[in-house]
Amino acid sequence: MNFENSLAFAQSLDQVDPLRELRNDFLFPQQNGKPFIYLCGNSLGLQPKAAREVLDQQLTNWQNLAVEGWFEGDTPWMFYHKELKKQMSQLVGASALEVCPMNTLTVNLHLLMVSFYKPNAGRFKIIMEAGAFPSDQYAIESQVRFHGYDPATAIIEVAPQPGEYTLKTTEIIAQIKEHGDEIALVLFGGVNYFTGQWFDMPAITKAGHEVGAVVGFDLAHAAGNVPVKLHDWDIDFACWCSYKYQNSGPGGISGIFVHEKHFKDTTLNRFAGWWGYQEQQRFKMEKGFVPEAGADGWQVSCTQVMPMALYYASLQSFEKAGFINPLRVKSETLTAYLFYIIDEVNKSLGIEQYKIITPRTTNDRGAQVSIIAAKQGKHIFEKLVENNVLGDWREPNVIRLSPVPLYNSYEDVFKTGELLLSISKEIL
């Protein structure tokens, strides 16, 4: 598409956007009586208007049914997680049996590593991306120490080449092959939080399996953002938070995926809990853990009804959109337009004030553009917020802007560029 740097052009794209009405399903924060242009969905998604209604329904059930709400009412809490599984599965390319909403992201990462990180004297290393989100770094470090290994020797971090910000798939695969016989687990993010790079998940999985390693992914920045096919790509396990691109509210419920090929593997360790026990036998209160079929067998604690209700509310918007594929079509163009607009700002300034570190190739990025300001980056970010454009700042020097196809418009992108140019002219 040949883009134009004008409000009329941006508005013309919005007029033909088949998903434009979805924007009305969300509540935008306001400042000085005006709504923000919200470009921070990669950190916390907007509140769906349906959230209050769905949450009120469960509060009413609690009020009227009390403990009987576990078994009575329109949505008995005992089975409430099943209300989400079909929709979740369509967002991550899995069967409903392979996914389950439960806990929070890092808790689930630990629980899954209990099962899938099985080090021994010869094969004990974990290979991951350098600069992964700190929660992943800390979880992996602690798991390695728990098994009696030194993170300095047991964790292999694949870093970009000097002067570069993103990884080449060939570099990742080369590292997997180099350390092949020593690798117990390949554990990457689906999309890197800092640069917005979408890793080649099927290629990484294939390389990991070829050397005999288990392969898992943290999809915090991928689920609900880019199309993934966890089952078809033969990924062993994955987990994600739901409060970024999936809009389930701060600290919202997490989700897990376990490939069905592992369901009958009795050699897998688990940190078991009552709620993962066979559903039909659960209330017999018998000793000896027997897991429920599928991903549900990794549950530990009982259903978190209120967080699940908020997740359920958000999933309705994805269903209205037709799930991830129509959203991805819009996202590709919307993000490409943001690239174009930033390039136009640099062109107007006559310098590369804003260096884009997110890959420009469509298949290598999701709905995020990370930029480094050559001068006064933090000040520029603060001026954007002051003028009702809300992205986010990541130390030491990156502004992340995330145009989310569920609720962002091409006009949002154009006006952000217009403001970025205006602020830049004032300070340069």
State pLDDT tens for residues 24-60.
999 999 999 999 999 999 999 999 999 999 999 999 9
Phi-psi region of 205 (alpha: psi -120 to 50; beta: other; left: phi over 0): alpha
pLDDT digits (tens, 9 = 90+) for 392-401: 999 989 999 9
Q: Which of 105, 107, 157, 109 is nearest to 132 (CA)?
A: 157
The whole-model pTM stands at 0.96
The domain total for the chain is 2
CA gap 361, 129 in Å, rounded = 20
Q: Which of 257, 249, 247 is nearest to 219 (CA)?
A: 257
Task: Please tell me the predicted confidence (pLDDT) of residue 19.
Answer: 98
Residues 154, 302, single domain; the answer is yes
Task: Please tell me the predicted confidence (pLDDT) of residue 120.
Answer: 96
Phi-psi region of 211 (alpha: psi -120 to 50; beta: other; left: phi over 0): alpha
* DSSP designation for 51: H
Residue 1 lies in a domain: no
Tokens of 384: 């954007």
Residues 58, 32, single domain; the answer is no
Query: For the domain that residue 235 is a member of, what is the CATH number?
Result: 3.40.640.10
Q: What percent of the chain has pLDDT over 90?
A: 98
Question: What's the order of all strands across the beta sheet hosting 398-401?
Answer: 354-356, 369-373, 398-401, 392-394
Rounded to 10 deg, the angle between the 305-321 and 82-92 helix axes is: 50
CA gap 369, 357 in Å, rounded = 8
| Cα angle 333, 335, 337; round to 5 | 70
CA gap 197, 361 in Å, rounded = 10
Residues 244, 163, single domain; the answer is yes
Task: Please tell me the predicted confidence (pLDDT) of residue 428.
Answer: 82
pLDDT digits (tens, 9 = 90+) for 329-366: 999 999 999 999 999 999 999 999 999 999 999 999 99
Residues 278, 418, single domain; the answer is no
pLDDT at 427 over 90: no
Q: Which domain holds residue 339?
A: 7-47+323-427
Residue 2 lies in a domain: no
Residue 70 lies in a domain: yes
Cβ pair 252, 241 in contact under 8 A: yes
pLDDT at 233 over 90: yes
